[in-house]
Amino acid sequence: MGKIVSIEPFLLGKQTTSAQWASLMVLVRVTTSDGQVGWGETVTALRSKTMVESVRSISRIFIGKDPFNVEKNRLEWYKHDFNNSISLESTSAFSAIDIACWDLIGKYTGEPVHRLLGGVTREKVKIYANGWYSDCVSPEDFTKKAREVVSKGYKALKFDPFGANFNYISKEGIDIAEKRVKAVREAVGEDVDILIEHHGRFNYSSAIDIAKMLEKYNPLFVEEPVHPEDIQGLKKYRENTSLKVALGERIINKAYAVLFMNEGLVDFLQADLYRIGGITEAKKISGIAEAFDVDMAFHNAQGPILNAASIQLDAVIPNFLIQESFYDWFPQWKRDLIRDSTPVEGGYAIVPKRPGIGVEINEKVIEENVVKGEEYLNLKEPIWVVKGTWRDSL
């Protein structure tokens, strides 16, 4: 079997002159000496050039290595990169390469990744929709689009009803948010789960005020209700509400995750494969979470390679809750990149059985969508916002 001979990052997307959420993605191709190819993906997040260069930098460690030796290779990078434990760029670059190596391992063995990690616990993976509420501002906007989501068969959907409020939210802001939440709950009924995204942007006092409003709408969970570094605020939040808390998309290693679980601060862990260390570390963190009786709801607000890799792991772990997906709201080129091979049907994704992460890459799409530069920066609407919702006026 071959050794790694090249690691190539590709910045893909559509250049725009207006804010377009998650418009770019970093795709990584790992090639071995006998011509086998594995694919990975990582984040951009206003760091497009930085992430491309980070992948190129880390590749110096991996060239000549056996892609099967995922643990040994991880330790080699950890040894050399003094800042690995605190660097998003380091862990995210490594994550893409780790995913690509698992894709290679699957292709060499002729098995899908889930078979290599323990086999299936489930043949299909429950999905919650995200990205569906682009340009929603009024309750009527949310009602219309929520009904469209349910008509596609989804049994769960997530959204951020808080507009441009940041850190602090007034009573008026809470009233506006409630109108949106109520509209969605009434549109989808009680048999569909709603999940409330906070984007980790409130102080604990505002988050508690929001929680008192949300309790009557019975969300499956609230995501990142306070700023992610505000441990003390999260403790106060937990003491003042019965709402279930999900967090973890910004955690970059398993030790950080243990901190939250050991303090009883999280019900559902949302580690993201592109930040946590790829499939290798995500599988470990799932096992740790199981010991704490915490279910996994992997975060994925990126592209189709991460989506496919996440589904492979979702199929295996016993403590799976639900998987985030933007699939039906991807730009068409992202679905074309994997030949539309992980569709959501009836609110579930069928676990792919092809070798590796289960998808075939259309390299013509790569050629047609290679770009240079960074995401368009709109100072009136952060890039993490679902487009057109960073407004409060009704």
CA end-to-end span of the chain, whole Å? 61
Please give the structure tokens belonging to residue 110. 């002729």
User: Is residue 80 flagged as an active site residue?
Assistant: no
Catalytic residue among 114, 198, 227, 299: 299
- The C-alpha atoms of residue 97 and residue 117 are separated, in whole angstroms, by 18
Residues 6+ apart with CB under 8 A from 340: none
- How many Cβ atoms are within 10 Å of 74's Cβ, its own excluded? 20
Catalytic residue among 114, 198, 199, 227: 199
CA-based radius of gyration for the chain: 20
Annotated active-site residue 299? The verdict is yes
Nearest Cα to Cα of residue 203 among 233, 171, 242 = 233
Check: CB of residue 138 under 8 Å from CB of residue 394.
yes
User: CA angle 201-203-208, nearest 5°?
Assistant: 105
Token readout for 297 is: 């709801």
Cα–Cα nearest to 363, from 37, 42, 57: 37
H helical segments located in 128-272: 139-151, 171-188, 204-214, 231-239, 254-262
CA distances from 191 to 1, 25, 38, 242, 251 (A): 50, 34, 40, 20, 31
Residues with a catalytic annotation lie at 199, 299
